[in-house]
Amino acid sequence: MPDPDPSPPAGRKPRLGRIIIVATILFAIVLVAGTIARVHSRRRLHAQNVAAAIPTVTVVHPGGNAVDTLVLPGVLQAWYSAPVYARTSGYLRRWYVDIGQKVQDGQILAEIDTPDVDLQLAAARAALGTRTAQRDLAGITSRRWNRLNAQNAVSQQETDERRGNLAASEATRHEAAAEVERLETLSGFKRIVAPFSGVVTSRATDIGALIVAGTSTTQPLFTVSDVTRLRLYVRVPQAYAARMRDGLRVHFTVPDYQGRTFEARLFRSADAVDSPSGSMLVQLVYDNAEGLLKPGAYAQIAFTFDGHGAAAGPTVRIPASSLLFRKDGTTVALVEGDRHVRIQPVSIVTDFGTELEVTGLTPQSVVIDTPMDDIRDGDEVQPQESRHAS
């Protein structure tokens, strides 16, 4: 048999060439894809590095000019309130008014039986009569000795003695008259009268009760209060002290009139802050002509402000942590539309502790909360909204 031909078939060479071409193409594709992936990764890493170089800041939006209301407790007190004491000792004979009754200025509230004072007054009047008689006798004697002295019938020494006796008798009579007047005044205190028109708010005595005047343990017999107007006292925190102006209108409520609001006006303030409490005492006045409210009652007072306070322009509220203290003054860091920083000066109107009321901003401002100490104008930042934005 003849040997087989060792040369490959004619169609095998083209097939091998196509395989090589395909492999080359695949290798080129893999090489290009790898190169593209490496370039993309490099670019992404560069972008991440660039982004990491821009600090992320938390931003807040200032609170707008909303109405500011402050609610505080207060106490109602009578316009005038006078405890009425006895000025003389004795026993209560009779009382004419009781609690809740209206009285007029000078009206008799009670009468006291004062036997001791009556006896002392009788003795004083008798003593005054004796001193008057002695004075009259000394006057007659002095005039007689003056005539005798003019006739040189008696010595000048004896005449001067008689004149001295007259002067002493006159002084003794004045003393007795003063004692009578004192006891008559005490006797007049047997009638307890109202010091002004008002309402009897307490009575602490009864018929036959022993009245001892002028001691440290003496209790008032009555208390008279003028309730046509009421004073309303409230302690205002120092942060609001600058807003307290005479004539400021406020509204308040009391427990005994649920759902009803009353209006009072600021009458005057202590104009001084109490150091232990950090508050200022304010006095309001309420016209109680209808007699609805009672002295001693508790009230809830609502102070309503327009949000401007004592500032010369619109105010907003920002967190206290957003302030920057620089040599140029108090500032905050704002984020502009292109994510660049702008340092904005502000003026503090009211310090509420965690929040500040300031001027120089608008509700549309974007404020950086807790900014870095070295932040400057033009710095690029990445803003992030705060979860507790105003």
- pLDDT at res. 39: 74
Pairing of strands 56-60, 367-369: antiparallel
Across all residues in the chain, what is the average pLDDT? 85
Both 154 and 132 in one domain: the answer is yes
CATH code for the domain of 127 = 1.10.287
- With respect to residue 137, please indicate whether it lies within any of the assigned structural domains: yes
Single residue among 271, 287, 305 that ends a domain in this structure? 305
- pLDDT at res. 380: 86
- pLDDT at res. 191: 92
Both 356 and 249 in one domain: the answer is no
- pLDDT at res. 288: 93
- With respect to residue 3, please indicate whether it lies within any of the assigned structural domains: no
Both 104 and 212 in one domain: the answer is yes
- pLDDT at res. 4: 52
- With respect to residue 240, please indicate whether it lies within any of the assigned structural domains: yes
Both 100 and 215 in one domain: the answer is yes
- Number of domains making up the chain: 4
CATH code for the domain of 243 = 2.40.30.170
- pLDDT at res. 329: 85
Both 134 and 205 in one domain: the answer is no
- pLDDT at res. 314: 74
- pLDDT at res. 390: 44
- With respect to residue 298, please indicate whether it lies within any of the assigned structural domains: yes
Given a cut of 50, the residues of the chain with pLDDT beneath it are: 1, 389-390
- pLDDT at res. 238: 85
Distance CA 310, CA 66 (A): 15
CB count in 10 Å sphere of residue 202: 15
What element of type H or E holds 163? Answer: helix 156-188
CATH code for the domain of 340 = 2.40.420.20
- With respect to residue 200, please indicate whether it lies within any of the assigned structural domains: yes
What element of type H or E holds 158? Answer: helix 156-188
Distance CA 9, CA 138 (A): 183
**Angle at alpha carbon of residue 351, lines to 346 and 352, rounded to 5°:** 130
Intra-chain end-to-end CA distance of the chain, in Å: 104
- With respect to residue 77, please indicate whether it lies within any of the assigned structural domains: no
Both 298 and 269 in one domain: the answer is yes
Virtual torsion, Cα 166, 167, 173, 175, nearest 10 deg: -160
Q: Which domain holds residue 381?
A: 57-65+312-385
Both 328 and 301 in one domain: the answer is no
- With respect to residue 78, please indicate whether it lies within any of the assigned structural domains: no
Distance CA 164, CA 139 (A): 10
Alpha helices of the chain — where are they, by DSSP H? 12-53, 115-150, 156-188
Tell me the whole-structure pTM to 2 decimals.
0.58
- With respect to residue 35, please indicate whether it lies within any of the assigned structural domains: no
Distance CA 28, CA 35 (A): 10
Single residue among 305, 334, 349 that ends a domain in this structure? 305
Distance CA 306, CA 299 (A): 23
Burial of 215 by CB count in 10 Å (0-12 exposed, 13-18 middle, 19+ buried)? exposed
